[in-house]
């Protein structure tokens, strides 16, 4: 049997494997896989940033407040009122809106009432001389309600108290 040198691989040069040469660009350092911890950290950071922005937007309600509310003129403020569940609005509201100062300069009072589930509904009552009562209600935190703002106007405090004569804006 004759030996065929063309079938003998011993004459071929031996190529050694060097890990430092495993790269798509000659001379570039070897690529290492990105650790899972880094990927998860970036995802978590993006999620937290997005949630933070959403929470700020929700708390300010600025994203959904009507332009008439955001652009309202400043008025002297009466003390805020918090109404417990299932309780009528206290007389402090009408006292504020009917005060001599309110009749001269106008006034605004914030009344926070709680729903049966405990969700806050914020209502801003505003009175300006000769313009009746303007009412902005923020129900965006009411889980089972409209979840929206409303804007009404009443000819006077008496109409506000009776619930008659007020019209949506």
Regarding pTM above 0.75, the answer is: no
Q: Is residue 82 in a domain? A: yes
pLDDT along the chain (169 residues), means of 10: 57 58 60 75 68 52 80 96 88 93 95 93 95 95 93 93 89
133 contacts 160 by C-beta, under 8 angstroms: yes
108, 28: one domain: no
If we measure between CA atoms, which residue out of 139, 94, 148, 142 comes closest to residue 116? 142
81, 112: one domain: yes
| Structural domain containing residue 24 | 20-60
71, 56: one domain: no
89, 150: one domain: yes
90, 35: one domain: no
Identify the DSSP state of 7: G
84, 155: one domain: yes
71, 41: one domain: no
50, 71: one domain: no
Q: Is residue 12 in a domain? A: no
89, 126: one domain: yes
**b/e per residue, 134-160, with b = 16+ CB within 10 A?**
bbbbbbbbbeeeeeebebebbeebebb
43, 110: one domain: no
């Amino acid at each position: 049997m004759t030996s065929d040198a063309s079938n003998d691989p011993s004459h071929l040069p031996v190529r050694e494997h060097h890990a430092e040469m495993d790269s798509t660009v000659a001379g570039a350092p070897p690529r290492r896989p990105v650790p899972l911890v880094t990927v998860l950290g970036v995802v978590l950071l993006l999620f937290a940033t997005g949630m933070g922005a959403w929470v700020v937007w929700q708390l300010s309600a600025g994203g959904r407040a009507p332009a008439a509310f955001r652009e309202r003129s400043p008025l002297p403020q009466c003390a805020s009122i918090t109404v417990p569940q299932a309780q009528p609005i206290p007389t402090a509201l009408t006292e504020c809106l009917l005060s001599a100062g309110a009749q001269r300069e106008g006034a605004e009072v914030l009344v926070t009432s709680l729903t049966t589930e405990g969700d806050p509904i914020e209502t801003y009552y505003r009175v300006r001389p000769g313009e009746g009562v303007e009412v902005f209600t923020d129900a965006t935190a009411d889980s089972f309600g409209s979840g929206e703002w409303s804007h009404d106007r009443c000819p006077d405090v008496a109409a506000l108290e009776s619930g008659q004569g007020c019209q949506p804006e």
